[in-house]
């Protein structure tokens, strides 16, 4: 990677931390700083889910939950996105069980297209 790509990656990492901080401040305590979201089950147990948030070419924020197939949503702002992703996780859990997974890393990979 060149110097520009390195600078963009550092900016993206800093920007992601800022986004997570803003979402945590704006939302209920269901969002944790590490990016995982928590949902209370009927028994009161909490589940954690890793949520990947990206911004598409039209400016929408798109959130996906890797451990729940077809679990995603989008919004124009991060403030709109937080409650939507919690809602879609609850809907997905009503239809399917999610494996217990531990967040390890997030990496962007560049390939020629």
CATH number at residue 19: 3.30.160.250
The reply to whether 56 falls in a domain is yes
Report yes or no on 36 lying in a domain: yes
- State how many domains the chain has: 1
85, part of any domain: yes
Does 44 fall in a domain? yes
Does any domain span residue 105? no
Contact 78, 61 (CB under 8 A): yes
Reported as type and span, the H/E element at residue 100 is: none
Supply the pTM of this predicted model.
Answer: 0.60
pLDDT 10s digits, 14-73: 555 566 565 555 444 333 333 444 444 455 678 899 999 999 999 999 999 999 989 999
- The alpha carbon dihedral of 92, 96, 102, 107 has a sign of negative
The domain in which residue 83 lies consists of 3-95
Does any domain span residue 71? yes
């Amino acid at each position: 990677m060149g110097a520009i790509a390195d600078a963009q990656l550092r900016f993206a990492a800093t920007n992601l931390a800022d986004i997570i901080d803003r979402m945590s401040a704006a939302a209920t305590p269901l969002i944790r700083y590490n990016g995982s979201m928590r949902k209370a089950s009927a028994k009161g147990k909490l589940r954690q889910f890793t949520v990947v948030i990206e911004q598409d070419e039209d400016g929408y924020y798109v959130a996906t939950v890797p451990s729940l197939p077809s679990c995603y949503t989008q919004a124009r702002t991060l403030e709109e996105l937080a409650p939507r992703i919690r809602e879609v996780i609850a809907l997905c859990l009503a239809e399917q069980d999610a494996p217990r997974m531990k967040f390890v890393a997030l990496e962007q990979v560049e390939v020629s297209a």
